[in-house]
Chain A
Amino acid sequence: MRGLGLILIVMTSFFFTGIVFRTKSLFAGRKGRGIFQPMKDIWRLFQKGSVYSQTSSFIFRIAPNIYFASIVIAIMLIPFGDQKGVFSFNCDFVFFAYILAVGKFLNIIGALDTGSSFEGMGASREALYSLLAEPAFFILMGSFALLTGYTSFADIFASIHFGSSISYAIGVLASFVLVIIAMIENSRMPVDDPKTHLELTMIHEVMILDNSGFDLGLIFYATNLKFAMYGAIIANLFLTPGKEWYYSVPIFIAVQTLFAIVVGTLESFMARFRMNHNPQFIFTLTSISLLIFLTVLLVAGKIL
C-alpha cells in the first residue's frame, strides 16, 4: 500500500483551501462559500481557453506543466506513517527539496518571459524568499537524521516516537517550522497576501498575472497540493508507528484539518509584513530550526 499517502494527500487537496476560506469567512462574520468551491473554480478554469502574452515564448507555455509535475513527484516521496512513499531512497528529502526547486525555477523564468514590469518583481521576491527558507528545512531534516540515525523520509518518520517531554518539544517546534515553511512556499499571509489587489505588494500572485485557462488552473491546483503535502509531512510527525490504518487515517485527516484551520486563523488575525521585513522573518526560521538541532544534540547526548 505504498500509494495510500498519495491518495490521501490528493483527497485532502480537494478541500484544504476550502477549509482555509471557510475559517476566514467565519472569523469575518460571513457565511462563506462551500468547502469545495475552490475546486469547482479550478475545474472551471480547466475548461476555459487561454490568453498568451505576445512577448512570451514556449517557456511560458511549458512552465506550469513542469511546475505541476514537480509537485506531483514531490508528493510521491512523502511516506504515510511507517508506509513508504511511492519512491523512497536514501536522502530522498534532498531530492524533495530540489525537485520543488525545479518547479520554482520554471515558475520564475515563466514570469520573466512575459517581459512585464510587475512579474519580474514577484519573481525576484520568490527566488529570494524560498532561498532563505531552504536552510531551515535542511537543518530540520539534519536534526531528524541525527535523532533517528536514518536518512530517508520513511525511515525517519517510522522511527520518531515521542517518549520524553523533550521530544514533544521537538515535535512542536518542528511543526511550527513546517507550518511557516508551508506559508512561505505557498505565499500565504505573514509573508505574502494572496488577496491583495496591488501588484507592487504581491509575490506569487503577481508572477502568474498573465497565466490563464488550463495553465492557471494547474497553478492553483498545485498550490492546493503543496498545502496538503506540507500538511502530510506535519501529520507524519504525529502518526505513531505500528498503528493500524483506522487510527492513522483519522489522525492524518485531523492534522490536515487542524493545519488548514491554523492557516485560516493566522490569515484572519495577521497583517502582511512589510516587504523589507520579510527576509528577517524568514531567517528567524533558520534560528528556530537551529534550536531544534541543539535540542537534538542534547537528546543524542553529544553535549553535556
Chain B
Amino acid sequence: MSLVICILCITAFFVLLVGFLKEMWSANFALVAVLINAGISSYMAFNAVTGQSYQEIISGGSIFGDIPIRIDALSGWFILMMNFTVLTGILYGRRYMKLYENKSGAIQLHFIGFIINHFSMIGIFCVQNSLAFLYVWEVMALSSFILIIFEYKKPETLKAGINYLIQSHICILFITVGLIWVSSRTNSYDFNAIGQYSASVSPALSSLLFLIFFIGFAIKAGFVPFHTWLPYAHPVAPSHVSGVMSGVMIKLGIFGILRMLLLVNQNYLSIGYFILIVSLISGVYGVILAIVQHDLKKLLAYHSIENIGIIGMGIGLGAIGIGIQNPYLAFAGFAGALLHTLNHSLFKSLLFYGAGTIYQAIHTLNIDSMGGLIKKMPQTAILFLIAAMAISGLPPFNGFVSEFLIYQGFFEGIHLGSILLTTVLIISIVALVLIGGLALLCFTKAFGIIFLGQERKEFDHEVHEAETSKLLPGYLVVLFILIIGLFPQMFVKLLINPVRLFTGSLDVASPILMMTDSLQSISLVAWSFLLAIAGIAVIKLFVSQNRQTVVSPTWGCGYVAPNSRMQYTASSYVRTYRKLIGPLLLMNKREVAIEGVFSSPIHSETHPYDKVEATFIDVPLKFLYAILARVRFLQTGNVRHYILYGVLFIFIIVTFSLLNVAWVYLVDLLKQI
C-alpha cells in the first residue's frame, strides 16, 4: 500500500475515532493521529531534503486523471517545518483545551478539524495535480475555519471567522483562475504543464499568470495590502490554532509563491524587484502597526505580516540573484527566506503559546492591564523573552541567522549591478534595519509591560504558573531556537538541496562555502558572548561576596506613596513613536476635554485601526453595499420566491446553451454562404 493511501486511511480512522468516542479522549487521539501522520510524512520529507525525492502517481479516476504526488526538497523542507509546529501545537492544544472540556460541545469537532487540517497541509505540499490541489486547499481553508470559530458563541469570533472564510475564498478564486487557465490550454492537470505552458507563451502573458498566482498566494501569506484577515483571525482563535496558523498556515502562501516561481517561466529580475518591493512594504507596514496594538494576539498577528515581509525580501533577493546570474545573491536570498520561514514558525508559535498561557491565567489579552507577571509565571516569562529576542532578530537566537543571510546578500549585491540594483538594495537594507529596530521597540514594550513592573490591575482570582505539560512544547521550541542560533552552519547544509532547485545551473559551491564560513564565525562569536556573560557573572559573584545587598522600594524621586498606576503603560511607552509616525496610522481616539479647575474623572480611549484596510477594504465594501442595496428587494425571505429564482436560473442556463447551439449553427450557415 502506498504511503499516501496509508496517511489517508489513518486520517479517516482517527477522525471517526474522535467523532464517536468520548470527548475526554479526543485530544489524545488527535495527538496520536498527528504523530503518525507527521512521522510518515517527515520520513519522506527528510529523504527529499537530503537528496532523494519521492514520486508516486495515484489514479484519480476520470475526473482528476492521474494525480502525481511529488515530494521534492522544497516540499520536504516545508513538510518538516510544518510537522514540528503542528506537533507542538497539538501538545499545547490538548492542555489548552482542558479548560473547555464539558463546557462546549465543539471539542470533538475541533480536534477532527485539527487532524484534517494537518492532513490537508501535507497534501498541499505534495499534490501536483491542479484539480486535486484546489480540493486539498479548500479542505485546508474549511478545516481552519472550523478551528478558528471554536468559541463561536462570541459574536466577534464568528465575525472574524466569516471574514477569514471570505478572504480565503478570494485567495482560492485567484489560484483557481490561474490553474484553470493553464489546464484549459494544455488539457493537463499536472503542475509540470504550467511550466510548459508559460514557456510557450509571450513573456507578458507569463508574467500575468505569475501575478495571478502571486495575488492568490499573497492573500494566504498576508502580504500588504492583502493582510487584513490576519489581525482578526489570529486573536479569536484558540492559542494553539493561532500558533499553527501564524507559524505554518500562512507559509502555505510562501510555499505557493516559491512553487510558482519554480514553475512559471519568467523574467526573474523584474519579478525579483516586484517581490522585493512588495515585501519591503509589508515588512515595514506590519511592524509599524504592530507597535500600537493593545491586544497581545493582534500585536503578534501584525508581526506575522512583518516576518512574511522579511521572507519575501529573501525571495526577492534570490530571484534578482538568478536574474543577474549571481550565485551568491541567489543562495543568500533563498536560503535566508527558507530559513526564516522555519525560524518564524518556531518563535511565532512559541509567542502564541505564551499568549495563550497568559490568557488562561488572567483572562484578558489587553497588554495595559497586565504587569508583573514574571513573578507569578517565571517559566512562561523566560520562554516569552527568548521568543521575543529571537523575533527581534537578536543574536544568539535563530531570527538573527536568517536575517544575517539576507543581509549578506544585500551587501554583496551592492557593488555588483546597475545603479538601480544598488539603490534598491540600499533601500532594502534600510527597511530591514528599520524592521529590526521597530521590532525591538515593540517587543521591549510587550515583554516589559506584560511581565515586568507591578501588576496594573487587580484580578479576583489567583494567577499562577501553567503546569509543566503545558510548558513542555514551549521548551521543545526553545531547544530548536537555540540550536539554530548557536550552530547555524548545520542548517545551511540542510538548505542546500531546496535552494539548488531554484539556482538550477548556477554554481553555488563557493557561496555555500562562504556562508558556512561566516556562519561558523557567528557560532563562535555567539558562544563567546555567552562565555563573556558567564564570566562577568562569576566575577560579580566573586566581588560582591562580602558586600551588603539591600532590597528597598524603587526610586520615586522623593515621592513616598507610588502606586502601580504611576508606572509607564504600553500606550505611554510608544507615545513618542506614535506621534512621530502619526500620518501612517489611523488612531480612533475618544477623549473628553478637561474642564474647570477641579474636573470630574475623564476617560480617554484609543483604538488603532488599519489605514490600508480603511482604503482597500472598507471603501470598496461601501460601494458594494450601495449597489447590492438596489437588488435587496429580491431577498424577500419567502421560500417560494427562492424556488422561483432557482427555476429561473435553470431556465436561463438552458436557454443560453440552446442559444449557443443556434448561434453556432447560424455562423456555420453564414460561412457556407
**A residues whose Cβ falls under 8 Å from a Cβ of B:** 46-57, 59, 62, 65-66, 68-70, 72-73, 76-77, 87-92, 94-95, 97-99, 101-102, 104-105, 108-109, 112-121, 123-125, 127-128, 130-132, 134-135, 138-139, 141-142, 145-146, 149, 151, 199, 209-210, 213-214, 218, 275-276, 279, 286, 293, 297, 300, 302-303
Contact = CB atoms under 8 A, between A and B. Distances in A.
B415 A52 contact: no
Given A89-B521, A90-B518, A97-B433, 17 more contacts: A49-B544, A49-B550, A54-B554, A65-B537, A88-B521, A90-B408, A99-B395, A112-B568, A115-B454, A115-B567, A124-B576, A127-B441, A138-B429, A151-B411, A214-B540, A214-B543, A302-B419
Interface string B489-532: 00000000000000000000000001001100110110011001
B540 A65 contact: yes
Contact of A117 (B525, B536, B543, B562): B562
The 7 closest A-B pairs by CB, nearest first: A120-B568, A131-B437, A112-B448, A115-B453, A89-B521, A49-B548, A49-B547
Given A117-B562, A210-B554, A297-B419, A108 B414 contact: no
A141 B408 CA distance: 12
Nearest to A217: B543
Interface in B408-448: 408, 410-412, 414-415, 418-419, 422, 425-426, 429-430, 433-434, 436-438, 440-441, 443-444, 447-448
Interface of B: 371-372, 374-375, 378, 385, 389, 392-395, 400, 404, 407-408, 410-412, 414-415, 418-419, 422, 425-426, 429-430, 433-434, 436-438, 440-441, 443-444, 447-449, 452-454, 514, 517-518, 521-522, 524-525, 528-529, 532-533, 535-537, 540, 543-544, 547-557, 562, 564, 566-568, 572-577, 579-580
Contacts of A300: 415
Given A112-B448, A151-B408, A213-B547, A89 B517 contact: yes
A69 B372 CA distance: 26
B544 A124 contact: no
B553 A53 contact: yes
- Where chain A touches its partner, the secondary structure class is helix
A35 to B, nearest CB: 25
Contacts of A120: 448, 567-568, 572-573
A59 B337 CA distance: 33
A124 B579 CA distance: 13
A113 to B, nearest CB: 4
B6 to A, nearest CB: 46
Contact of A146 (B389, B422, B433, B577): B422
A52 B550 contact: yes
Interface of B is mostly: helix
A70 B395 CA distance: 10
Q: Which of B385, B393, B448, B579 has the most CB of A within 10 A?
A: B448
Given A69-B532, A128-B577, A139-B430, A115 B554 contact: yes
B434 A109 contact: no
B452 A105 contact: no
A114 B414 contact: no
Given A105-B440, A116-B567, A279 B576 contact: yes
12 contacts: A50-B548, A51-B551, A56-B554, A57-B375, A69-B536, A73-B529, A89-B521, A115-B453, A120-B568, A124-B573, A135-B433, A302-B422
